[in-house]
Structure 1
Amino acid sequence: MSASCAWAENRASADDAERSLDQLLRRYYGELNALAFARLRNRDAAADLVQDAIVRFLASCRNGGHGQGGVESPRYFLRAIVANLAIDVARQNRRRGPPVSLDDALHIADPAPLADRAVTARQEYALLRAALDDMPARWRQALLLNRIEGWSHARIGKHLGISSTMVGKDILAALRRCLAALARAG
């Protein structure tokens, strides 16, 4: 039996193979992970890449080693696999663009409403506009000063020459008229 992939090819018992693989991983995992992290700058991606490298290494050993002569040094072969996989990941990232977290992706969405929502909003606006045009001027003015301009009932009352209690009643009546117009259409 050649020295190459001897640790993986030694199939005398499943325990020996498992122990050999465990020794290999304990010996080189940290080094391979550091190499992957240095290239990717992402701990999770580096760990995944090292796992992929180990799987590829094992597949190579099961298929008779690397080329005709087998794997002379598992360490350098694993390092080469990690380096090549890191290059592949970098190329994929350049094609796809940088990865984006879900929280960041929510801010990418187009803030414009969907077409059906825009149509519905225009219809509701037309109904509200018609309801505002049909109500008494004082109701309309009290509602708009309160809801659009943010005026208090007392300030609106002074402006219109009525009590703040009457302002509240006018705003309530105007809101009821608007809601009734929307309810008739919906």
Structure 2
Amino acid sequence: MQHYSRLTKMVRRKGVHTDDASDIVQDAYLRLTAALDRTDVRDPGAFLHTTAINLIRDRGRASSSRRHVIAPQNETFEHVACPTPSSEQAAISRQQLVLLEAALAELPPKRRAALVLYRFDDLTHAEIAQRLGISVSMVEKHVRLALNHCRQRMAQMNGDTHD
């Protein structure tokens, strides 16, 4: 529950209505609980954040799809895909999360902190600079280098040597 308030604020900042934000956060916690039954989650906060972002995207896609579908009366929607990921996609996502955690663990502490505060806590560069006691330009550099490192490591770990 230590992440609930921060997670709800982050979801609200993404433009989600209060009631929907609560639903998304609750769904994220349910998925974390399910994941903990199957595997060891090293960083529950990061897992919750990533899951909430994915749920926001899924709801956005579903909402967009609903606006484009014009169905005749009495038509059933049995052919509509299930909104939950397949077990294969869930396994891939868990593997990617493990790879990302490994890439983050390789970063120097301030670089990792700058990236986490920027991407997961949605702080501005100025807020991060103040919190870490460094300049805004150094925050920008840390975030850029951390993102590049994570992208490169994810590509390497996935067997993509074209980067």
TM-score (norm: length of structure 1)? 0.43
Higher alpha-carbon Rg: 1
Identify, as 1 or 2, the structure richer in helix. Answer: 1
TM-score (norm: length of structure 2)? 0.49
